[in-house]
Amino acid sequence: MKVALVQDYIKEYGGAEKVLETLHEIYPQSDVYTLVYLPRFLGPHMERFKDWKIKSLIPSWIPLQAKMISMLRFVDHLFFQRLDLSSYDLVIVSMAGSYSGVNLFKKGKNTLHVCYCHTPPRYLYGYATANKWTKGIIRKFLLILGRIPMHFIRLRDYLDAQRPDVFIANSQEIASRIQKFYRRIAVVVHPPIDVPKVDKPIPQNERKFYLTGGRLARAKRFDLAVEVCTKLNLPLKVFGRDFAGYEKELRSLAGKSVEFLGEVTQEEKWNLIKKAKAYISPSLQEDFGMLNLEVNGVGTGVIAYKSGGVTETLVDGETGVFFNESTVDSLAKAIERYERLKIKPEDCIARAQMFEKQVFMKKIKEIVSKNIK
């Protein structure tokens, strides 16, 4: 088959990029199309994409692309509508929720169009986003001004969502959003989780710090972890690439027990997870939460805010604990409860193995095989 993969943009390495990477592993000769490709912002993950055939719809020589990511949502459809993929047998879209026109490309009569949806655009439907639009007079003005075009973008987003032949959601949470906003039924295929082999997990009593981080975006609410660990004087390590100045806010809340590590390599991330008491996941309405399962995959427990996709993966009292309110007090009580529990590494690993990469690859191949002409 002649295969094309499409993603909103490629500028950082997160869950959507991990899915794209695994799709490319299934179809290694595929062409990859994206609105903006900025490898220099990928940090230690840049090498992952170096041998791919990536075609950016916006030429790389155009300046200030990194600053224009959010503003491009008003015109993204103009670029995707001009994209002609009619010569491909299979097109798989990894829809990260950044843009609403990613499915509008031209396709052939016999082209199978599959959309793997991480989430409908959060900014269109009232979900927490990375940017703090209520801060500052100019941002508040743009927010008010943007309400009119946002109505029309939602209409376009609905039409965009009617084009795929097959809709896949990364969780039941996202399947319900797809049903609610698009009136489409989606098959649930959980994202691919790397579960490295761990010969002997470090005993819980030898682990000295808590861990949080990933993509440092405001919707992830890492400020709760920083505030709680500062208040309780618990050692906390924060890793990940800053997004929209959020790290500066986190540092202003942090006490001496909190350490910021910046963006780390995959190897460094695994070493941190293996040695951590637990990973703190305070995200609001998490779409799925791949990192939580990666943490379980090396025998480490998770302390997570009970909302969104994480409710489908974490087993309370066995692979971690939930906290029910997005507050400092609620998280503090969850940490105290976690300290009293004896989380078994083997239970965490067994849970993560249910979502490992081979399961994802098998299900994607089955869906394509069933629907291809």
pLDDT digits (tens, 9 = 90+) for 248-289: 999 999 999 999 999 998 889 999 999 999 999 999 888 898
The C-alpha angle with vertex 15 and arms to 9 and 19, in degrees rounded to 5, equals: 80
Q: Strand, helix or coil at 226?
A: helix
Determine the structural domain holding residue 120 and report its residue range: 3-192+356-371
Count, residues in the chain = 373
A 10 A CB-CB count for 256 gives 8
Q: Tell me how many domains the chain contains.
A: 2
Tell me if 198 is assigned to some domain.
no
Tell me if 230 is assigned to some domain. Answer: yes
Q: Establish if 270 belongs to a structural domain.
A: yes
89 and 107 share one domain: yes
Predicted TM-score (pTM) of the model is 0.84
pLDDT tens-digit readout, 27-37: 999 999 999 99
Q: 79 to each of 4, 34, 71, 74, how far by Cα in Å?
A: 16, 10, 14, 11
Which residues are CB-neighbours of 6 under 8 A, at least 6 positions away? Answer: 32, 33, 34, 83, 85, 91, 92, 93, 94, 102, 105
In the chain, the largest separation of any two C-alpha atoms, in whole Å, equals 62
Residues 148 and 30 in one domain: yes
C-alpha–C-alpha distance, residues 344 and 318, integer Å: 7
Identify whether residues 336 and 284 lie together within a single domain: yes
212 and 315 housed in the same domain:
yes
**Is 163 found in the same domain as 72?**
yes
Per-residue pLDDT tens over the stretch 112-161: 999 999 999 988 888 776 555 445 554 454 555 455 577 888 999 999 99
One domain for residues 102 and 233: no
- Domain-located, residue 199: no
Please indicate, yes or no, whether residues 286 and 361 belong to a single structural domain of this protein: no
CATH no. for residue 329? 3.40.50.2000
Do residues 179 and 229 both lie within one domain?
no
- In 3D space, the residue among 285, 101, 310 whose CA is nearest the CA of residue 190 turns out to be 310
Tens digits of residue pLDDT in 18-66: 999 999 999 999 999 999 998 888 878 888 898 899 999 987 767 777 6
Same domain membership, residue 265 and residue 163: no
Q: Is residue 330 part of a domain?
A: yes
Answer whether residue 197 is part of any domain: no
Torsion (CA) 49, 72, 242, 132 in degrees, nearest 10: -160
Q: Are both 48 and 177 inside the same structural domain?
A: yes
Identify whether residues 9 and 158 lie together within a single domain: yes
Residue 72 scores a pLDDT above 50: yes
Is residue 318 one of the residues assigned to a domain?
yes
